[in-house]
Amino acid sequence: MSEFDLIKRYFTRPAPGATLGVGDDAALLRIADGMELAVSTDILVSGTHFLPDTDPFLLGHKTLAVNLSDLAAMGADPRWATLALSLPKADEDWLQQFSAGFFALADEHGVELVGGDTTRGPLNLCVAIMGEVPAGKALRRSGARAGDDIWVSGRLGMAALGLAHLQGRVVLPEDTRSACLAALHRPQPRVALGMALRDIAHAAIDISDGLLADLGHILECSQLGAEIQFELIPKAGGEGIDEVLFRQCVLAGGDDYELCFTASAERRGEIEAVAGKLQLPLARIGSICAKQGCMVRAGDGSEIKITESGYDHFK
């Protein structure tokens, strides 16, 4: 199969929301008046971001999901994506399933694939995603204020526990295992939540490298500190799991793709209403303070220290 047949067969779909989609030297896109274009890109490298034998349908899903998560964190409405692929070979079964996983999630979020690039090489998947947000309304990392509540969506550490299980570092009980593997393989980008928070949250980030690392970015950009109560963080039951590993996964595990955001205490009722409307648990886990640094407290008030606060590719 030629490169062009491959693109045509697996990656060319109608894109009615674009002026011009796949097939020319560039796509043409028009954004609505009063909107800003939010653009983000994320690369997935075999062996670093996923295990080489990962199910291709799930990989197609995750390739788009991690990018949607970045737009969610900005409060943007995702519209278009491009996909740059480097593939060791043109394996038709693999391509069929990968593109099915990718387009299933794209359809769910109204995202159109409008271009890309396809080359032979080690398996690498790179999406650029574009979305719209009303001008001036995007959620930034730098907007937190002292006294803000800190909130997170979903449950943290699930994907990291799932990965630890696959790597034989922990044996998870049956019920926890399926939830953790689902979190690892099928992250659900919190797009609707990000959009609902546009006029509510002061700052937001998606948790891709672990809570402490990502909350740390909000703190650094906002020049503030935080105090977190470990007991308040929604997570899997820790029974039978080594306490150090469990805390590490919850506080510093990668791949959660939940949102962490800050908002003033007056907005608690509205945030709870958003949680109800979206049927998505949102939990208040601590607060922003003027004193820099991030303190995590256990139920008895003692400080929890962890060795690694999150994933860093160059450490």
Select 113 or 200, whichever has its Cβ closest to ligand ADP: 113
Question: Which stretches within 75-170 are classed as H helix?
Answer: 92-108, 158-166
Distance of alpha carbon 185 from alpha carbon 158, whole angstroms: 11
**Both tokens assigned to 224:** 């503030």
Site string for ligand ADP, 148-187 (x = CB under 6 A): ----------------------------------------
User: Is 116 an interacting residue with respect to ligand ADP (CB under 6 A)?
Assistant: yes
Residue 104 corresponds to which amino acid?
A
Footprint on residues 22-51 left by Mg ion (CB under 5 A): 25
Phi, psi of 248 (to 5 degrees): -60, -45
Residue with tokens 């979305």: 131
Q: Kindly tell me which residue out of 2, 25, 53, 299 binds ligand ADP, with binding defined by CB under 6 A.
A: 25
Q: Kindly tell me which residue out of 1, 5, 19, 23 binds ligand ADP, with binding defined by CB under 6 A.
A: 23
User: Is 113 an interacting residue with respect to ligand ADP (CB under 6 A)?
Assistant: yes
**Rounded least distance, CB 20 to ligand ADP, Å:** 9
Select 80 or 246, whichever has its Cβ closest to ligand ADP: 80
**Rounded least distance, CB 233 to Mg ion, Å:** 48
**Rounded least distance, CB 25 to Mg ion, Å:** 4
Residue with tokens 């394996």: 91
Distance of alpha carbon 180 from alpha carbon 236, whole angstroms: 8
User: Is 203 an interacting residue with respect to ligand ADP (CB under 6 A)?
Assistant: no
**Rounded least distance, CB 257 to ligand ADP, Å:** 23
Handedness of CA 207, 259, 44, 245 (dihedral sign): positive
CB 264 within 8 A of CB 149: yes
CA 105, 251, 177 angle in degrees (round to 5)? 55
Footprint on residues 48-87 left by ligand ADP (CB under 6 A): 83, 85
Contact partner, 205, from ligand ADP, Mg ion, none, Cβ < 5-8 Å per class? none
User: Is 41 an interacting residue with respect to ligand ADP (CB under 6 A)?
Assistant: no
**Rounded least distance, CB 304 to Mg ion, Å:** 53
Select 23 or 173, whichever has its Cβ closest to ligand ADP: 23
CB 83 within 8 A of CB 11: yes
User: Is 88 an interacting residue with respect to ligand ADP (CB under 6 A)?
Assistant: no
Select 26 or 32, whichever has its Cβ closest to Mg ion: 26
Residue 313: left if φ>0, alpha if ψ -120 to 50, beta else—which one? alpha
Contact partner, 118, from Mg ion, ligand ADP, none, Cβ < 5-8 Å per class? ligand ADP
**Both tokens assigned to 75:** 């409060």
Phi, psi of 74 (to 5 degrees): -95, -5
Distance of alpha carbon 85 from alpha carbon 267, whole angstroms: 43
Contact partner, 224, from ligand ADP, Mg ion, none, Cβ < 5-8 Å per class? none
CB 219 within 8 A of CB 287: no
The residue ranges that bind ligand ADP (CB under 6 A) are 7, 11, 22-25, 83, 85, 113, 115-118
The residue ranges that bind Mg ion (CB under 5 A) are 25
